[in-house]
């Protein structure tokens, strides 16, 4: 078990069959989708959304020496990834609010599909005489 929920910023180790990596959890980040959690993954140099039930059993606290080394090695990269992540989240939030505030008339209505257009043409018995008629004017043998 780990002490992730007790600390504002928690450094730990994620142990998987693919290998181990240092991860960082920051309680100040926006909440992830229900049932998920955001962790900075030092191997991927990014904040990743994980399924909480799966990942929690694979998270382990670092000993004091490893913690100090992880803070020294990953604090700057973590902060850069955090800034980028928050900017993306902010842009996404602004876009979501913009779409939500759009009037219903601004949403495009679906266009007819080719099949619908073809069915309408088949149902019509009228002959279109205004089509260009083929002629052989100017054709020489």
* Assigned domain for 83 exists: yes
* Assigned domain for 56 exists: yes
Count structural domains, the chain: 1
Which segments of the chain are extended strands (E)?
9-16, 19-26, 36-41, 46-51, 59-61
Per-residue pLDDT, 7: 83
Question: Which residues have CB under 8 Å from 139's CB, separation 6+?
Answer: none
* Assigned domain for 112 exists: no
Per-residue pLDDT, 28: 87
* Assigned domain for 68 exists: yes
Q: Which domain holds residue 46?
A: 4-100
* Assigned domain for 60 exists: yes
Residue-by-residue pLDDT tens, the chain, 141 positions: 467 778 899 999 999 999 999 999 999 888 888 999 999 999 999 999 999 999 999 999 999 999 999 999 999 999 999 999 888 887 655 544 544 454 554 445 445 444 444 444 444 455 555 555 556 665 565
Instruction: Find out whether 59 and 51 touch, Cβ atoms under 8 Å.
Output: no
* Assigned domain for 39 exists: yes
Q: How many CB atoms lie within 10 A of CB 26?
A: 16
* Assigned domain for 110 exists: no
Distance CA 67, CA 23 (A): 11
* Assigned domain for 70 exists: yes
Per-residue pLDDT, 99: 46
Distance CA 4, CA 20 (A): 17
- pTM of the entire predicted model: 0.63
């Amino acid at each position: 078990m780990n002490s992730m929920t007790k600390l504002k910023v928690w450094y730990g180790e994620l142990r998987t069959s693919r290998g181990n990596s240092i991860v960082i959890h920051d309680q100040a980040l926006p909440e992830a989708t229900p049932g998920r959690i955001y962790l900075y993954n030092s191997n991927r140099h990014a904040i990743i959304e994980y399924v909480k039930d799966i990942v929690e059993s694979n998270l382990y606290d670092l000993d004091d020496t490893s913690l100090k080394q992880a803070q020294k090695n990953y604090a700057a990269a973590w902060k850069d990834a955090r800034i980028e992540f928050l900017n993306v989240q902010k842009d996404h939030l602004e876009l979501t609010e913009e779409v939500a505030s759009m009037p219903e008339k601004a949403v495009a209505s679906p266009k007819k599909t080719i099949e619908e257009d073809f069915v309408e043409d088949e149902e019509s018995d009228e002959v279109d005489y205004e089509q260009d008629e083929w002629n052989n004017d100017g054709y020489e043998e």
